[in-house]
Every structure is written in C-alpha cells, then in structure tokens.
Amino acid sequence: MWLRNIFLKTLADCRVAILGWGVAIGSIAPLIFAFVPALLSDSGTRATVAALFRHPAIRLFGEPVDVLTPGGYATWRLTLILPLVGVWALLVTTRTLRGEEESGALDLLLSIPRSRLHVVLAKLGAIGAAILLIGGLIGLLAYAGGLVTAATVSPWAALLFGVNTALLAEVFGACALLVSQFVRERRSAAGITGALLGLSVLVVTAGRALPARGWIGRLSPLYYFERSKPLVTQVDLRAMLVLATLTISIGTAGVLLFLHRDIGGQIRIRAGAGPERRPRRLASFTGSRLLKSVFARSLGALAVPIASWGLGLAVYTAALTAILQQAQRNLLDLLETVGRFNPMYAELVARVTGGSGAEMNARSLTAAFTVVAGLFMVFAITLASRWAADEDDGRFDLLLSTPLSRQRVMLSRFAALTIGLVIVAGVIFASTGLTAWAAGFALDRLRLAEAAIGMAPVGMVVAAMGYLLAGWLHSKSVTGILTGWLLTSFVVTLLGPLFQWPASAMQLSIVEQYGTPLVTGLEPVRVAGLFVVVVVVMTAATVRFATKDLVR
C-alpha cells in the first residue's frame, strides 16, 4: 500500500526524519523544565540571572520573556534551535522534486497515468504532513515534560508550540520549492534557500537588538514565529496566520511555475537566452593541464559554495558585531543614567557584564561566534555531502577509469575541502576585524584570529566523518547523521553545564571542541587532538573507499 500511493510513499520516506527531528528537539523542553526550578530556587541566583538577561548579547539569540519561569527559559533557549526544522524542510523539498529531476526518477514517475499536478501535490502534501508531525511530536513531548516536572503547560499551549514551529518550517520549504524552479541543481536550490534562512535570522536579530529599528525584524518570517510564545501563554494567532499565508502563496507560485516548465529545465529570467547546457561533470578531463589535476578541479568545483558561504558568513558576523556594539553602547548609556539614582543596581549589572573594553567585548561576542561556528560546521556538512552525492550519481566511474588511484582521488578532494574551510575562516576573521575597527569595537586581533581559524579543524573533523560514513551510506543518510550529530552537540553544550554533566560526556559535543577562543585562546592540546582525529578518520575512510565496490 505504501509503495502504490505517491503521498504515502513520500511520507514513508520521511519516517526516520520525523522521529529523529521530533524527539531530538522535543526532548530539550522537558530537560529545561526539570532544571529551571532548582536553578532559580535561590533569590541571589534569581537576581543574577535577571541581571544577566539585561545584557545586550542575550537579545542576539532570542527575546527574553518571563525567563524566570520554566516555560519562559525554555522558550528563550529554543529560539535558535526550533528554526532548524526549517533546514530539514528545505533540504527534503529540494531533494524530493529537483533531486528526482536530476536523477531521472521523476521522468519514470510521470510516465504512469497520473497528472503532473497530482504528483507534485501528493509529494508536497506528504512533506507538509511530515513537518506537521515533527511539530506535533515536539509539542507532545513538551506537554509530557510539563506533566512529569509539574511545569504549567496546557495541552492547547503544547499544541500551538508545535504548530508554530511547523508553520515556520513550512515557509522555508515553500521558499525551497520556488527557488528550485530557477536553478538546475538541488544543491543550488538548497544553498540559496539556506542563505535566505540565514538572512532571516540576521534581520530578526537586528530588530531585537536595536529597538529603535525594530521595524527591520518584520521583514523576516522569524519575527512572526517569535511573536507567539505558547509556553508563556503568549499566542499571536494573526502572526501564525501570516506564516500560513506566506506558505500557501509562495508554495502556489512554485507549483504553478513547476507545471509550466520542462522537467529537468528551469525558469529563465532573461528573454532570448541560448540553448540549455548540460552541467559539467567532475570526471571530464579536457582543456588545460591544470584541469587534469583532481585537486585543482575539485577546488574549482567548490568555488561557488566557498564564495557564497564565505560572503554569507562574512555578512552575518559583521552584522552581529555591529549590532552587538550598538546594543552594548546603549546598555552602557543606560547604566550610566540609572547608576546616578541606584548605584547598587548599576554595580550588579556591571559585574555581570564584566566591565568594559576588549575583554568584555570578547565575552559578549563569544556567544555569537559559537553560532557562527555552528554555521561553519553546516558548511562542512554540505561539502562532505557532495562527496557522497557524487558517488550516488556515478560521477566517479569515468574518473576512476583513468590511471588515478582511489586514494589519490579521495585525498585530493579532501585537501580541496580543507582549503575551502580555511578560506571561509579567513573571510570571517577579515569581516569581523574590519567591522570592529570601523565601529570602534575593541577586540584582541590575535584572539580574533584564533577564534576564526580555530573553526577549520572542527570543520575538518565533521567533513572527515562524512567521508567515512559515505563508505556505507547514501548522501541523504550522511547529511542526516551529521546534522543530527551537530544538533545533539548544541543540546549537550546548552544543557551540559546546567545539569553538571561529566567532562567526558561534554567532550562528545563537536561544538564543545570549538571552545571559547575569543576569551581563552586556542588550546594546543585540543587542536592537536582534532588533527589526530582527522588523520585517523580519513585513513579509515580512504581504506574503505579503496576496497569497496562502488555499485551499491
């Protein structure tokens, strides 16, 4: 039955993701519910936490509302995590339609007596249902956590909590559908939509951190998502309606464009464009001697993602630095004014913010750099997934028919990937340093360089794990496992200190391995350990690739 119905077959393909994403994200709220009452039982701790949440850096990651309650604290903690469901939505949307066009599977499906409209609506309906199921599972676990920990979470609030998350993810799934009509490859569609998601985060962050320019946040779908905070009984049904309207309107435009173009083609914006060209393969050995180098061709193939991710992360870190500098200046002005009437209050907040100058700025920017490091690891995941996807698509067959060893091919590809990671890390350093210099935001340039370049070895570990997993799994499984690892690492980093988990458990988090180099600098032992892991994992991956049968 599952294989005879397009809707059910597509939904069945998402069953692992539904369970994985729903449980992974939904289990965070109950853990926070269990911890917050003990954390805030002491009046002194409550005062310190309340003062901490007045720091401008806090607003970069979410609007603190009623944070001294389990529901409010969980809402603030989850503000950056819940939009990650949108990442899965855009990936599955591009893979289901544009990905099947690339592989030719959609041609076979359309040969059966089903209209193109029926096929696309069945597939998109299944994706929408899967996203709603993920949201429902998140809400169900939040409600169950409230029952176990005696936190106040009504069934209605838990349901809206999950629905609000699903609606945001649906918006970016619809955006991925629309973008897919203008590009030929699923990678391009996913990359562009991911950039839109990152831009949305940046815009809503600017709106939160700079109240005088709060109107900027309204340009982002995340603004309407954050308007509703069901766990603190703050629900804006009009904002949820805006998200639903965006999904329907953008999705309808994508479906209409899909129905009026050739399968495998794209919507051309320029009139009178020439005939379509077939995409060039990595295995095509023509042209200059430089193009005959696997390393050079691999690096050339990564030029577009390196440039796009580098530019995106540069803009993001520069904007965060500028926003934080302005917000911190506003706070210091406020402290100076309030301190004239209440010196004790000003002293408390000043102690929490850590004083002034480069040291305080580094502490404030560290939280932002943790998020940037997470995005950097997402970039590493996309590069590792390219290796698995090239094998799935059979792009190594012609390449390996030449007198090149498999070991050389894999190591050349990984070397090009490493160069790409270093280039993007350097761009992050340059953009942050120039912005800080222009805005008069004091930073230790050596520590800043360590914080930026320190992302490279962490990204290499993630990519190496992807190359190893590709020895047994298809590209979508590799992407899913690496994404799950990254998401779990963020959860461990967020909750581990709260629950005082042992250091051995914390070391399993790849985010924890990045550390806080802006404040403490790079730890040589940790960096050396990361390089050892890369060598060991890549050795195992090379042995597997050299001895396996490429036909699965």
The string of pLDDT tens digits covering residues 143-154 is 998 888 867 788
Please, which pLDDT band fits residue 269 given cuts at 50, 70 and 90? low
State the pLDDT at residue 68: 79
User: Which amino acid does the sequence have at 350?
Assistant: A
Mean pLDDT within 521-531: 92
In three-state secondary structure terms, 111 is coil
**Residue 73, φ and ψ in degrees, nearest 5:** -65, -40
Which residues have a Cβ under 8 Å from the Cβ of 332 and sit 6 or more positions away?
356
Q: Specify the pLDDT at position 292.
A: 57
> How would residue 341 be classed by pLDDT, with cut points 50, 70 and 90?
very low
96: Cα separation from own chain's centroid: 20
Distance (Å, whole) CA 130 – CA 15: 8
pTM of structure: 0.76
Sign of CA dihedral 237, 241, 242, 247: positive
Task: Give the pLDDT confidence of 395-431 residue by residue, as tens digits.
Answer: 787 777 777 889 999 999 999 999 999 999 999 999 9
| Spans of all domains in the chain | 1-267, 294-552
- Our measurement of the distance from residue 10's CA atom to the centroid of its chain's CA atoms, rounded to an integer in Å, reads 24
What are phi and psi for residue 234, nearest 5 degrees? Answer: -110, 105
The phi-psi region of residue 61 (left if phi > 0; otherwise alpha if psi is between -120 and 50; otherwise beta) is alpha
Query: Which of 116-130, 397-411, 428-442 shows the lowest per-residue confidence on average (mean pLDDT)?
Result: 397-411
Q: For 173-177, what is the mean pLDDT? A: 95
Q: Which residue type does 432 have?
A: T
Quote the pLDDT of residue 331. 59
**89 φ, ψ to 5°?**
-60, -45
**What's the confidence (pLDDT) of residue 365?**
83
| CA 95/CA 212 separation, integer angstroms | 41
Give the DSSP letter string of 179-208. Answer: HHTS-S-HHHHHHHHHHHHHHHHHHHHHHH
279-331 tens-digit pLDDT = 444 444 444 444 457 888 888 888 888 988 898 888 888 888 887 776 666 65
Q: What are phi and psi of 229, to 5 degrees?
A: -130, 75
CA gap 332, 325 in Å, rounded: 11
How deeply is 112 buried, as exposed, middle or buried, from its count of CB atoms within 10 A (0-12, 13-18, 19+)?
A: exposed
Beta bridge partners of 229: 234
pLDDT at 44 over 70: no
29 pLDDT higher than 80: yes
Mean per-residue pLDDT for 442-458?
A: 92
DSSP string, 120-137: HHHHHHHHHHHHHHHHHH
Please give the angle made by the CA atoms of 464, 477 and 169, to the nearest 5 degrees. Answer: 110
Q: What's the chain's average pLDDT?
A: 83
Q: How far apart are CA 527 and CA 254, in angstroms?
A: 46
